[in-house]
Structure 1
């Protein structure tokens, strides 16, 4: 589409080739833009950026599959935050772990509910609601964690209800080895 005078010689071809080299990555990115916003197809670095949009701060023990699941579950996962179901969903779909929770039953308007289980009928009820959480990471998550479980413990504490006294224990490997990590297709 260039005038005849510009098509004579190779200068115009070399000049235009410079624009091709410079603009090709930009045009390729724009052609694939919808893939960047899909949790199943986004590049790993873009996943981290998108998770920051949702306020989801995940530790290094969470792999790419877990990060994709966190984006796919988005509103559902955050809507269950502070519940046992939410903690179990976070553990299974995002952390590639199994979780065991023992809890006091919570409070209703500052009083203990009548059906609250007691270890001993004569024992006094605890002053505050409590939860004992034991998380067992899969071998792959354990390897990514590198033996440092503090970030995972902090994430689990952040997902517990406010005002609940908790003890969080994280084990590496073990019983979760038989459980395969959830894929995005299994979660949705």
Structure 2
């Protein structure tokens, strides 16, 4: 017996009716019931047959990108185009490895904006063998980001910096036109 199409348009490679003994295959009602079950399970079989595509950032359906990002701890913004989400997801291990560093912040923002990013921080680390009585006397960690891009808003850039930097670090963000870009000039 050949594969039969279902009302959903999915074919099942394993029609249940063909697995029955020949004497039961002669029962028309039973065969119609197995076809109904085939129609119900065809999407599940199709999903399992295509599982490798669901876990590949380049091939997964767009509505699965956020689900897949949860597996690897990547933060995707739903407002990003699907191709940017796919790229960020495929580079998530690389980006996660450098998370919390100046270089990691710069790489993540370059991916997001497609432009050049300059990141400066207050730098330095202090330590003491003795407890610090006055932590307020220590300099406040701060990072300044200058993005040369015309593909992102200042609010979106600031939000991305806030999500990517360590929580205790304050930040300042500037958005400038890329060098040589005359589209912003009036």
The TM-score bracket by the shorter chain reads: 0.5 to 0.7
List structure 1 segments (4+ residues) > 6 angstroms apart after TM superposition: none
- TM-score norm. by structure 1 comes to 0.64
- TM-score norm. by structure 2 comes to 0.65
Alignment gaps of 5+ in structure 1: 111-125, 179-188
- Structure number with higher relative contact order (C-alpha < 8 Å, ≥ 6 residues apart): 1
Say if 1:88 and 1:98, in contact at 8 Å, map to a contact too: no
Cα–Cα, structure 1 residues 4 and 165, in superposed 2: closer, same or farther, change >3 Å? closer
Say if 2:100 and 2:166, in contact at 8 Å, map to a contact too: yes
Q: How many residues get paired? A: 154
CA RMSD of aligned residues (A): 3.3
Aligned equivalents of 1:92, 1:103: Cα separation in 2? 15
Aligned equivalents of 2:173, 2:157: Cα separation in 1? 9
Cα–Cα, structure 1 residues 62 and 31, in superposed 2: closer, same or farther, change >3 Å? same
Shift of 1:131: 2.4
Alignment gaps of 5+ in structure 2: 1-17, 128-137, 182-186
Instruction: Choose which of 23, 30, 35 in structure 2 pairs with 1:12.
Output: 30
Shift of 1:33: 0.9
Matched, 1:69 2:106: no
Aligned equivalents of 1:151, 1:45: Cα separation in 2? 22
